[in-house]
Structure 1
């Protein structure tokens, strides 16, 4: 039984990518070129929430495409120069999380987002009147050779990342200006260090805002035998697991979905949905730390027996909350895994529950 339980839940363990850290997105395109000419007059760029600011020369412009992935993003595409700024509430991490822990999360995602990633030239500099970790990363993003100059810092109730980059061939020419962009960074409005009383809808996290898009889309497994209907803004943005039958995400809003089917033939003949619940929760509890699980509810999903519950825990000191629905059909046990940051679950729970309710196997 133990051997079968491990096999039956092995797929569920490959769900460790949960951050708001945007790494890739470099484009070799020259769309939106902006020549700076000889005039080096400075221009101030401020995030829409007035939280952060950058000061650059007037060759730079706000970049609408990158702004979808950041609280502030600017570029000078003609010369392959890019800057994005993001913030991450400390309350989304373990209470004892440090800037070093934040860098570990960042580095882990570099390895997921960039091929052949190599880190170098680590040093400490002063940014926004505080110490910041500065380092370089080289690799390939979307098959483009890129070179990043990154600064991570801690201020008030948030960690900040300032990611600048260029193509490898132009990095040395652009490096000084990228460094100046980082050094110009200012925090205009610090987030509170203890926002525990803040409800999700009132969160000071600028990324913690869902749009009111009510359009939906139906995603189907490769074998056309399973489908689920989810908000249309969730897409196949990144590979969460090579074993998932269906997967979707919206990274900027920290929304993730995986559908994982397990054939009943891998289990003992008397293996039940209750046994499956025990196997899944045991394995996930071993993978996460500080785990709590709500009482499972017995429900039906399109006429099939199911159990639904929430599981909270920490992975690499990131506080994660899962809505998990386990469905039994004639030939399979299926895991419907939705997850987000713990401080965002309240606003996303209904959407997760409604989407889970649309799952069905197609004959």
Structure 2
């Protein structure tokens, strides 16, 4: 039985991180053309955390977007979840992970938000060894006022069943993928929290 303990022990966490690299690795490669700047320690740093009395907010250094970090969530080390991510966060206690990938609308094939969402989903599922069940569209049509398309997708990656909540958001001149995932056996328990953290994605304050 692959429960939460099985994921966290004996390299389980490491395997869960590999899930993103395998299933999402081709997403945005080549077409994103993102660059990263070196921080004072000579390491790549694409995000920062703005702290306030009320909450912490993860802010991208590459795109005009941010994400309010709910309780239990914190910034993930840059590049640990995806090499091209604009934002990376995790909730290790609940085995949930999140990345945001932005792409210029001029860099993608002509089409609308629905077309782009389906394109991203095909790339995601192309990284699965096996698709588990059918993808299910949620009722979400907007994320903080911006048009969005959201799907629940399940698949086996690196011999691990994983549940993804994939949201495509059209914001300004960019399409953004907000991708949250968790071990499939925690899908039901984490469903509400996954949807809630996706709703925290928003445009950065100017």
Q: Is the 8 A contact 1:217 1:232 kept in 2?
A: no
**What is the match of residue 234 of structure 1?**
73
Q: Structure 1 residue 237: deviation in Å?
A: 3.7
Residue aligning to 1:247 = 88
SS of 2:176's partner is: strand
Q: 1:285 pairs with 91, 115, 125, which one? A: 125
2:24 corresponds to: none
Q: Provide closer, same or farther for how the CA distance between residues 87 and 346 of structure 1 changes in structure 2, counting only shifts above 3 A.
A: closer
1:88 aligns with 2:10: no
TM norm structure 1? 0.40
Task: State the SS of the aligned residue for 2:118.
Answer: helix
Q: Spell out, residue by residue over 1:292-318, the C-alpha distance to the aligned partner (whole angstroms, 9 max, x if none).
A: 311354511121110111000111111
Q: Bigger relative contact order, structure 1 or 2, given CA contacts below 8 A and separation 6+? A: 2
Aligned Cα root-mean-square deviation (Å): 3.1
Q: Does 342-351 or 254-263 show the bigger shift?
A: 342-351
Question: Unaligned 5+ residue runs, structure 1?
Answer: 1-18, 21-85, 90-101, 113-214
Quick one: distance in 2 between partners of 1:265 and 1:295? Answer: 26
- Quickly say closer, same or farther: Cα 1:237–1:247, change in 2 above 3 A: closer
How far apart are the structure 1 equivalents of 2:114 and 2:60? 25
CA distance in 2, matches of 1:228, 1:295: 23
Moved over 6 A (4+): none
Q: Is the CA contact (8 Å cut-off) linking 1:237 and 1:250 kept in structure 2?
A: no
* CA-to-aligned-CA distance 1:309-342 (integer Å, 9 cap, x gap): 1000111111100111110012010011111011
Cα distance in structure 2, aligned partners of 1:295 and 1:286: 18
CA distance in 1, matches of 2:76, 2:62: 20
Check if 1:295 corresponds to 2:137. Answer: yes
Structure-to-structure mapping, 1:146-157, within 5 angstroms: none
Q: SS state of the match for residue 74, structure 2?
A: coil
Which structure would you say has the larger Rg? Answer: 1
Partner residue, 1:51: none
| Structure 1 residues 359 and 250, CA gap change in structure 2 (3 angstroms) | closer
Distance in 1, matches of 2:187 and 2:56, equals 22
What is the TM-score when the length of structure 2 is the normalising length?
Answer: 0.68
Q: Which has the higher strand share?
A: 1
Cα distance change, pair 334–256 in 1 and its aligned pair in 2 (3 A) = same
